[in-house]
């Protein structure tokens, strides 16, 4: 079942984020994210939107997706940027990723937004294949990061 994230999910989201970072070969440092996520997710208006995939029988979370609404200077309109999409290995190939993206498309449509964007590492063959299967097309760009919070490769 896919549903909006709730306060009770925030602790388990830390575990999912750590798994996601490891999957992408990046370091993850737990540093009090749940409190900041709570502030971002449950503000009016929310700064961050999140959905989770709940395992059958309430046996934890199988995955999550987060997104923000951004503004495109060139297009002069809003778009939805999917920051994270991750499904645990035991939950993959069951349609959860596709349903998460469909959930995000519905979220965008409800707001009159017609474009989704996201990124994935070039070595994420599983993700690249999935995104192509659902009809997404790659945009050729290189993302940069600067500052203390720049993501670092896992040691």
In this prediction, residue 151 carries a pLDDT of: 59
Do residues 52 and 91 touch, judged by C-beta distance below 8 A? Answer: no
Q: Phi first, then psi: give them for residue 153, nearest 5 degrees.
A: -60, 150
Q: Where are the beta strands (DSSP E) in 20-141?
A: 49-54, 61-72, 77-87, 116-117
Q: Which of 95-109, 118-132, 134-148 has the lowest mean pLDDT?
A: 134-148
Do residues 4 and 104 touch, judged by C-beta distance below 8 A? Answer: no
> pLDDT class for 113, splitting at 50, 70, 90?
very high
In this prediction, residue 127 carries a pLDDT of: 81
pLDDT in tens, 18-36: 999 999 888 899 999 999 9
Q: Any idea of the CA torsion for 14, 136, 111, 1, to the nearest 10 degrees?
A: -50
């Amino acid at each position: 079942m896919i549903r909006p994230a709730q306060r009770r999910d925030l602790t388990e989201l830390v575990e999912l984020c750590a798994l996601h970072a490891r999957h992408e070969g990046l370091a993850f440092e737990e540093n009090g994210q749940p409190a900041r996520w709570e502030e971002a997710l449950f503000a009016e208006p929310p700064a961050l939107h999140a959905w989770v995939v709940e395992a059958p029988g309430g046996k934890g979370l199988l995955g999550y997706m987060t997104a923000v609404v951004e503004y495109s200077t060139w297009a002069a309109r809003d778009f939805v940027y999917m920051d994270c999409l991750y499904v645990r290995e035991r939950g993959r190939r069951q349609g959860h990723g596709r349903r998460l993206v469909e959930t995000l498309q519905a979220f965008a449509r409800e707001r009159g937004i017609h474009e989704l964007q996201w990124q994935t590492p070039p070595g994420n063959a599983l993700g690249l294949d999935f995104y192509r299967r659902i009809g997404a097309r790659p945009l050729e760009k290189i993302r940069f990061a600067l500052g203390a919070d720049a993501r670092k490769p896992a040691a």
